[in-house]
Structure 1
Amino acid sequence: MSDSSSIVLVLTTVQSEQDAKRLADDLVSQSLAACVQIDGPIKSHYRWAGRIEENQEFRLMIKTAITTWPKVKVRLLKEHPYDEPEIIMIPIAEASDGYRKWIIEQTN
């Protein structure tokens, strides 16, 4: 599959639903994402600054084109409320042709 038709899933988490909605609206309005789904609240357990933490978070599942991914990453780093945000990109190997085409059209 060529880069021009490849799509990816980008994951990030934030502490508030308000921040999740703000990021989702920003990415879609800038045509950086075709769709952003918000899950939550979820519980995250992690080590930060030498301490075990447990917090409520909201997960964003961002659907975009591989060619748009670098811009998504830059935008998330700029707009994300965390000092060191989780930003994970997962290539999507298979998707329905219509859905793949729709994501590409919305983000290129």
Structure 2
Amino acid sequence: MKESTNPSIVLVLSTVGNSADAERLAKDLISQSLAACVQIDGPLISHYRWAGKVEQGEEFRLSIKTSLATWPKLRDRLQKEHPYDEPQIVMIPIVEATEGYRDWVIEQTS
């Protein structure tokens, strides 16, 4: 199995408050070829401070695989379609991946 250390693919993480929003966003990103794969985890409990108050709530996490080249478009689309006023949208470079998986992600998001 040949591996690559070229960070040409990335993992994007975001959370939403319900499974319907998670499904809607996943389908939108895939249909727009902005993501090769979106996995949905949850429900999970998030603890955070918002507007000076400590909060907790149920959320669903989206783990989105895309190419580095597509990341800016994905970020913009996710910000536009996301139900939160200030959503978590973080990008993590994938430093190592098998060549076949990397090529598949790039092909799906080109």
TM-score, normalized by the shorter chain, greater than 0.5: yes
* Match of residue 49, structure 2, among 39, 47, 63: 47
Q: Distance in 2 between matches of 1:8 and 1:43?
A: 25
Shift of 1:33: 0.1
Q: Which runs of 5+ in 1 are unaligned?
A: none
Q: Quote the RMSD (CA, aligned, Å).
A: 1.1
* Cα deviation code 1:7-40 (max 9, x no counterpart): 0000000000000000000000000000000000
Q: Distance in 1 between matches of 2:109 and 2:78?
A: 16
- What is the TM-score when the length of structure 1 is the normalising length? 0.96
In structure 2, the partner of 1:36 is 38
Shift of 1:57: 0.0
What is the letter of the counterpart of residue 50 of structure 1? G
Q: Distance in 2 between matches of 1:23 and 1:38?
A: 10
User: Is 1:6 the equivalent of 2:8?
Assistant: yes
Q: Distance in 2 between matches of 1:36 and 1:105?
A: 15
Q: Which runs of 5+ in 2 are unaligned?
A: none
* Match of residue 74, structure 1, among 67, 73, 76: 76
Q: Distance in 2 between matches of 1:26 and 1:49?
A: 30
Aligned residue pairs, count: 106
What is the letter of the counterpart of residue 14 of structure 1? V
Moved beyond 4 Å, runs of 4+:
none
What is the letter of the counterpart of residue 21 of structure 2? D
Shift of 1:101: 0.5
Shift of 1:95: 0.5
- What is the TM-score when the length of structure 2 is the normalising length? 0.94
